[in-house]
Amino acid sequence: MKQWSVRLAVLVAILAAGASMRAEDKPAAAVHRNVKAEEFERLTKEPDTVVLDVRTPKEYADGHLKDAVLIDWNRKDFVDEVKKLDKRKTYLVYCAVGGRSAKACSKLDGLDFPKVVNLEGGIGAWKRAGKPIEK
């Protein structure tokens, strides 16, 4: 019985040591950045970037950024689809006004995508800045 209590005490000590790890000792999760249309456009010309449109197929058909890949934020399998993406690339994410893309970027952050950029104001801001749209 005594051996069991010693083992239990050792196990409790090990667990307590792990639980007391300070937040600054834990690895930081990647956090996306938010940029305006000018910077977003500049980034689209960088190597290993993917422009990711998280709007609906109808919104995409009404006009999208050049070479944008569509993965609708509202799809039930959104997470499964983004998990298939290459984490070595930079993802430039946009939606209509910035809400869905911000959520999508946070989801990508949580999935450990290290290079994620959100277009502030979405495609609406892009259009107001006079940037090109394709249909």
> Any idea which residues carry the catalytic annotation?
95
Give the closest residue to 74 by CA, choosing from 92, 52, 100, 94: 100
User: Any idea what DSSP says for residue 75?
Assistant: S
Neighbours of 88 (CB within 10 A): 9
Of the candidates 117, 49, 128, which has an alpha carbon nearest to the alpha carbon of residue 85?
49
Q: How far apart are CA 121 and CA 35, in angstroms?
A: 9
Q: Is 69 exposed, middle or buried (0-12, 13-18, 19+ CB in 10 A)?
A: middle
Query: Max Cα separation, the chain?
Result: 77
